[in-house]
Structure 1
Amino acid sequence: MKNKILIMMSTFNGEDFIKEQLDSIMAQTVDFDLLIRDDGSKDSTLEILKKYAKNKSNIRILVGENIGCNQSYFTLLKNAGVYKYYAFSDQDDIWDADKLQIAISTIENSKLEGPLLYGSCSKILKNNIITGTTKKKYTEINFYNTIVQNFLPGHSQVFNYELFKQIKCDLNYDNIYVYDAWITNVAAITGNIIFDNNPHTLYRMHNQNVLGFGENYISWIKNRFMKLINNEISQYSKQITYFTNVYYNDLNYNQKQEMLKFEKSKKNFLARIEYIFKTKLYRQSKIETMYFKILYLLNFYK
């Protein structure tokens, strides 16, 4: 096993910002390899990557056709090899120089064993101005939370080899809405999750973001409205069902019972009313939990 960390980055038409992110990765204070998969870029992204990789033995580039963000990251996992730690990277963020060192130290200082996933909140960068942070931890993070809330964004995730071994990659990617939520749920049922409320990344918000975070309540409401308009809740529900089927044998008895009720209660309005008053599922804040229950009641999780 290589006593270092593997950083996995998927790129697509990222020429505007990728140099800053690559520079911040090069400035990391830990020993790392960088595995990059270009997802069929049509701009100068690939040329930029090749310039950075020239004469650097710790950078490897995979070139492929456009298969989308989720499948691209799972393809990176398939090609990852054996390392002590793994991390995901977006193409357009800016990392603090000690981001990975803090993540690794936090994992090791936890004294926890088995599959471990570290995540943290990030500073939101919009038009080169820091406008807030991504979500912070307010209560326990476990399966009943993570199955209905994508709380650990991929750009903050660092995990150990034990969790890497638990991640299944030969999947139906049409059933996966967001890869990072999938990884988080694997950690929730097979190991432990460690969350850091201190930000170590500038998370860039712009029109090309695949997914984003609201900086305030108005943005939060607008973001949630757009998710409804774009039918994203239904897509997320599809992933929940698929994940439960793929990892059913890894769920404990109570988790299995909860997810059976989640699926069965979708079928009629009265059952959904009863379910939202009895469910163990929750989100990190009371207003988010209420939002989830209202959407479930109105059959958006169909």
Structure 2
Amino acid sequence: MSTYNGEKFLSEQIETILNQTGVEVNLHIRDDGSNDRTKEILKTYAEKYDNVNITFGEAAGVGKSFMSLLYSAEPADYYAFSDQDDIWDADKLWSAIQYIKEKAKITDPVLYCGNQKIVDSDRKFVALRLPENYEDHGLMGGILANGYAGCTMVMNHILWELLQDKKRRPKMQFFDSRIHDEWVVAVAQAVGKVIYDPVSHMEYRHHNSAFTSTDSLTSQKN
């Protein structure tokens, strides 16, 4: 998780991550130079939980912040990005892992991407981000207009090894113009497999202070 001035919704999101079922979670958070109460909230969680690790950094921007976390992560079976203001279903990570096991070979570099329930600040349902039959447009389509959201992504260890390999990394300046999830999707499409789950296992808050946005919404009632 990368944070920046997220005091309003941060605690609720951290709780949903720590309460994931069926998996063992290690939560790594990098704060990108917050000047509100975000740092105090993070310190409280780090003191309370052994599996919450905090890094405080200078403002680098969302793409660089997330990639710094990915590069410094400890080896694990799976890796996921998290926004600071969403709400995860208790089975978000477990469902993604089961989907990967079902749809891909164990030797594949795999990136799971899920759908999103868009909600407002009060958690009122607005829309689904992607249609059930969303079409993956491949490497070039992903480079030009990536439809997948980083906060839904779960990758396996094989893909993580390729992404964090120092010989294969782009310069960090690359992420001044391209956000982290666009790069991860492009790598997965080029060397591995991207699998899309039309079912949403999270709520994505759409509010004025959010630092990422949704470009397409599929209007649809619950």
Task: Report the TM-score, using the length of structure 2 for normalisation.
Answer: 0.88
The match for 2:166 is none
1:117 counterpart (103, 111, 115): 111
The match for 1:245 is none
Matches within 5 A, 1:270-285: none
Helix, strand or coil for the counterpart of 1:206? Answer: coil
The match for 1:287 is none
Q: Measure, in 2, the Cα distance between the counterparts of 1:82 and 1:125.
A: 33
Q: CA RMSD in A?
A: 1.7
Q: Which runs of 5+ in 2 are unaligned?
A: 164-168
Write out per-residue CA displacement over residues 204-232 of structure 1, whole angstroms, 9 at most, x where no aligned residue. Answer: 01112223225468xxxxxxxxxxxxxxx
Write out per-residue CA displacement over residues 115-167 of structure 1, whole angstroms, 9 at most, x where no aligned residue. Answer: 10001111001132111011234324421321222121010000011111221
Q: Is contact 1:166-1:190 (8 Å) kept?
A: no
Q: Measure, in 1, the Cα distance between the counterparts of 2:84 and 2:134.
A: 29
Q: Measure, in 2, the Cα distance between the counterparts of 1:58 and 1:211.
A: 26
The match for 2:191 is 190
Query: Structure 2 vs 1, CA of residues 169 and 97 (structure 1 numbering), >3 Å: closer, same or farther?
Result: farther
Displacement of 1:10 in angstroms is: 0.3
The match for 1:37 is 30
Q: Which runs of 5+ in 1 are unaligned?
A: 1-8, 218-302
Displacement of 1:175 in angstroms is: 4.8
Q: Measure, in 2, the Cα distance between the counterparts of 1:131 and 1:18.
A: 21
Q: Measure, in 1, the Cα distance between the counterparts of 2:52 and 2:135.
A: 38
Helix, strand or coil for the counterpart of 2:31? Answer: strand
Query: Structure 2 vs 1, CA of residues 216 and 194 (structure 1 numbering), >3 Å: closer, same or farther?
Result: closer
Displacement of 1:109 in angstroms is: 1.6
The match for 1:133 is 128
Between the aligned residues of both structures, percent identity stands at: 38
Q: Is 1:164 paired with 2:163?
A: no
Q: Is contact 2:116-2:204 (8 Å) kept?
A: yes
The match for 1:180 is 181
Matches within 5 A, 1:236-247: none
Q: Normalized per residue, which structure has more helix? A: 1
Matches within 5 A, 1:79-118: 79-112=72-105, 113-118=107-112
Q: Is contact 2:18-2:25 (8 Å) kept?
A: no
Helix, strand or coil for the counterpart of 2:77? Answer: strand
Q: Is contact 2:2-2:65 (8 Å) kept?
A: yes
Please say which of residues 33-42 and 76-85 is displaced more in the overlay.
76-85
Matches within 5 A, 1:1-302: 9-29=1-21, 30-112=23-105, 113-128=107-122, 129-136=124-131, 137-167=133-163, 168=169, 170-173=171-174, 175-213=176-214, 214-215=216-217
Q: Is contact 2:64-2:172 (8 Å) kept?
A: no
1:131 aligned partner, one-letter code? V
The match for 1:227 is none
Displacement of 1:17 in angstroms is: 0.5
Q: Measure, in 2, the Cα distance between the counterparts of 1:141 and 1:116.
A: 17
The match for 1:255 is none
Displacement of 1:23 in angstroms is: 1.1
Q: Is contact 2:81-2:153 (8 Å) kept?
A: yes
Structure exhibiting the larger radius of gyration computed from Cα positions: 1
Query: Structure 2 vs 1, CA of residues 138 and 55 (structure 1 numbering), >3 Å: closer, same or farther?
Result: closer
